[in-house]
Structure 1
Amino acid sequence: MIIFPIIIVISLVFWVYYKVAILKTDDGLTQAYFNAKSRICLGSFIFFFGINQYIFYETRISLFIGIIFLVLGGLHLYSGIKEAKHYRREWRRLNPQ
């Protein structure tokens, strides 16, 4: 399956993009928002990497490691989505249009 490596590479590229964007901005709220977005990308990277490893090897040890990666990636995704929603609302509250 070619889709999982593509998703893995795209999420890794976006993770690096958001980490560099954190360094370029001075606003603390924007940095926190970019950090939440980078956590989403890192979570998707770990999640899909776990799926890809199990599909590629199909052994019992890769299943256990894949499950651990799925749980860790899911936790990063969940917390990143929650943080991104929170900081997006805060930015909209502080910058009404």
Structure 2
Amino acid sequence: MIIFPFIIVISLVLYIFFKVRIFSLKDELLMRYTNSKARISLGVLLFFFGINQYLFYETRLSLFIGIIFLFFGFIQAQYGVKLFKHYRKEIVRRGEVTG
């Protein structure tokens, strides 16, 4: 399955991009918004890394480690989506007030 390593690399690049982009932002709300996107990328990275590890090795140990990666990846992505929606609403609200 060539798709899983491709998704892993893309999500790693996006995670690094968002983390580096935080340093260039001055507004704390935009920093938190960008950090939520980085959390989603990290969650996708962990999730698909867990799947890829099990499919590559197919042992009982890789199954347990893959389940741990799946769990933490899902939790990280879910929390990132929650933060993303919250901060997006705050940015829209702030834009309407100042605009």
Q: Note whether the superposition's TM-score is higher than 0.5.
A: yes
- Give the equivalent residue in structure 2 for 1:14: 14
Amino acid at match of 1:26: K
User: Aligned partners of 2:61, 2:16: CA distance in 1, in Å?
Assistant: 30
Gap runs ≥5 in structure 1 = none
Matched, 1:47 2:40: no
Tell me how far 1:24 sits from its aligned partner.
0.4
- Give the equivalent residue in structure 2 for 1:81: 81
User: Aligned partners of 2:21, 2:88: CA distance in 1, in Å?
Assistant: 16
User: Aligned partners of 1:57, 1:38: CA distance in 2, in Å?
Assistant: 28
Identity %: 57
User: Aligned partners of 1:33, 1:81: CA distance in 2, in Å?
Assistant: 10
User: Which secondary structure does the structure 2 equivalent of 1:4 belong to?
Assistant: helix
CA RMSD in angstroms comes to 0.6
Task: Give TM-score, length-normalised by structure 1.
Answer: 0.99
Amino acid at match of 2:3: I
Gap runs ≥5 in structure 2 = none
Amino acid at match of 2:6: I
- Give the equivalent residue in structure 2 for 1:34: 34
